[in-house]
Amino acid sequence: MIRLLFLTAGLVVLGGLLWHIGLFRIWETVERVGLVAFCMILVPFLVVYLLDTYGWSLTLGQWASRVGFVRLFMVRMAGEAINATTPTAMLGGEPMKAYLLARYEVPMVEGLASVVTAKTIMTLAQILYMTLGLSATFWLIGGNEYNVLVAFVSVGLLGFGVFLFLVVQRYGLGRGLLTVADTCRIRSQRLEAYRPRLLELDRTIRTFYGQRRRTFILSMEVHLIAWLTELFEVYAILYFLGVEAGWLSSLSIAAMTALIKGSVSFVPGGVGVQEGGYLVFLMALGYGEVTGITFAVIRRIREILWILIGLLFLAVLRDKAHLTPTA
């Protein structure tokens, strides 16, 4: 219900922005980009998703070859589509990835462990990326001590959250859940039935961090390259909109829009709030309001397109009824 209220508020904000700037002016600018240019704008994020899939495959180890890269890409996009379209967010999409992997004879424990470790590594790479982006931002536009402090504290809090999650993983996600259940005297036959698997999940995750450190570092490098690839999309959008775009400003915009998107995750899809954040930031860099909102609209169209592709992949993968998930 709360997320529905946020979604409604976001739609109102988006409608207000479009009305204020003018739908005709926005459409005129989008139309000027053209279909060929729009297809070129889509290329960088295809590379991003392919790199993220490869980064995830590294955490799967020997099981990755059993699934195959194309299927793994489909599984990842299907899970991300669920993350983007349901109120459950990551609590829905990430377990679905493990479930779909199990259809290709990847044990559920191995699948879940890879999902957890890959998401953790991806977030660590994101912190490095945002730090670079913030540095580029303050190099370009400066800022008082308060703004600098707020920005880096925000990234620091994200880093601290990831650190705590790593600590929890070292202790054991399954062990933690069982400890809470035992402390609260919660008795569940289903939970007891899953106790061995939960403890095995903990061992698998600890083994990855303890014995596969080179893989950990390589995966983080791949995810960092994926994050940095986003700046090519930003550069392409601004270039085809006919405005001046430098690589440093593209890095700044790419990183800050990622920070904005992450900050409004409480709104389903970040609808309205995300567009407003993009608009304000691009105007702070000296771009016009039409350029700012058109930039946001083009990125939203790209997001919707990939969500639809992800949902199509989900339908194809779930249709494989003859494949039984592996325990």
Alpha helices (runs of H) in the chain, residue ranges in sequence order: 2-21, 23-33, 35-60, 63-67, 69-85, 90-102, 108-141, 145-171, 173-183, 189-211, 213-240, 247-263, 273-284, 289-318
Structure tokens at 194: 């899953």
Residue 65 near residue 291 (C-beta atoms within 8 A): no
At 325, give phi and psi (nearest 5°): -55, 140
Rounded to two decimals, the pTM is 0.82
Could you report the per-residue pLDDT of 272-308, keeping only the tens digit for each? 667 777 888 888 888 888 888 888 888 888 888 899 9
> Are 124 and 220 within 8 A, CB to CB?
yes
Distance CA 211, CA 225 (A): 24
CB 189: neighbour CB atoms within 10 A? 7
Ranges in the chain, pLDDT < 50: 20, 321-324
Q: pLDDT tens across 219-253, in order?
A: 999 999 999 999 999 999 999 888 888 888 899 88
Looking at residue 171, its pLDDT comes to: 74
Please give the Cα distance from 269 to 281 (Å, whole number).
19
